[in-house]
Amino acid sequence: MFLNKKQISDFRENGYLFFPQLFDRKEVDILKKAVPEVLSRQGPEVVREKGDPTAARLAFGVHRYSEPYRRLTLLPNLVNPVRQLLQDEIYLHQTRMNPKQGFGSGSSWTWHQDFPPWHQVDGMPTPNCIMASVFIDDCTAVTSPLLIIPGSQKWGLLDSELHPDAQGRGYDLYHISQSTLQNLAEVNGIVPLLGSAGSVALIHSNLVHGSADNVSPWRRAILYLIYNAVGNACKKVIRPWYQNNRDFSPLVPIEADALRNYTPTQ
């Protein structure tokens, strides 16, 4: 997949692009079947929910220990459009899965930009970076969808501070103030990203977004692939491999059907 001029223009204006059902049912089924193994992994790369130590809040570095997800990161339907938008060769700065378990186990993410920790902690020079959000499950109005403020990336790097819930929890979340959020929302509005499993959103690293608690009985898993421009590689080495990948080798797309053809015996 390659983007046309209008899609590129829309991304520059709105800070995101949305592709319903970019991946087919067979590909989605393969990704779903791999989720339990990912979430059961023991190690610091899997962060548990504060109120439920049995529930995973985040699983970092998924592409390093799950073959289906490694293949996903290299599919041309992701690599090619991201390279177009960043106008550079790309590498994976980070991957993380947010499973958002139901019945309230999947807790909220306060309003934030993703770029601040990558800039302040990892030494990423500029926000020339994209978060590809791959829906592993259906994201509906009742399963705590990702909420975004279109065009908010044009406001630049906003004042933010480390959220107290993130301190000592294995991740960094810099949230913005309520007054800043109100100003942004009144000017730009808020949009929920709704779609079936296999849908994908390409999101600018400065776009303001957040999500509420998932109080539905259904899981709402999304895999976030953080693609960075090779020319924008991070300078610091404070965080471990699963949060700040130090391999800046340009990604080479694999065959378009590589994920669809995966079998667990491989």
CA angle 77, 193, 54 (to 5 degrees): 90
pLDDT of residue 172: 66
pLDDT of residue 162: 65
pTM: 0.94
- Structure confidence at residue 184 (pLDDT): 95
Beta-bridge partner residues of 59: 46, 97
Q: What does the pLDDT read at residue 52?
A: 77
Containing H/E element for 36?
Answer: helix 25-39
Neighbours of 103 (CB within 10 A): 14
Q: What integer pLDDT is reported at residue 204 of this predicted model?
A: 98
Tokens read off for 218: 């259904």
Which mean pLDDT values do the consecutive 10-residue runs of the chain (266 residues) have? 96 98 98 96 90 86 97 98 98 96 87 93 96 98 97 89 56 82 96 98 97 95 98 96 96 98 82
The reported pLDDT for the residue numbered 167 is 52
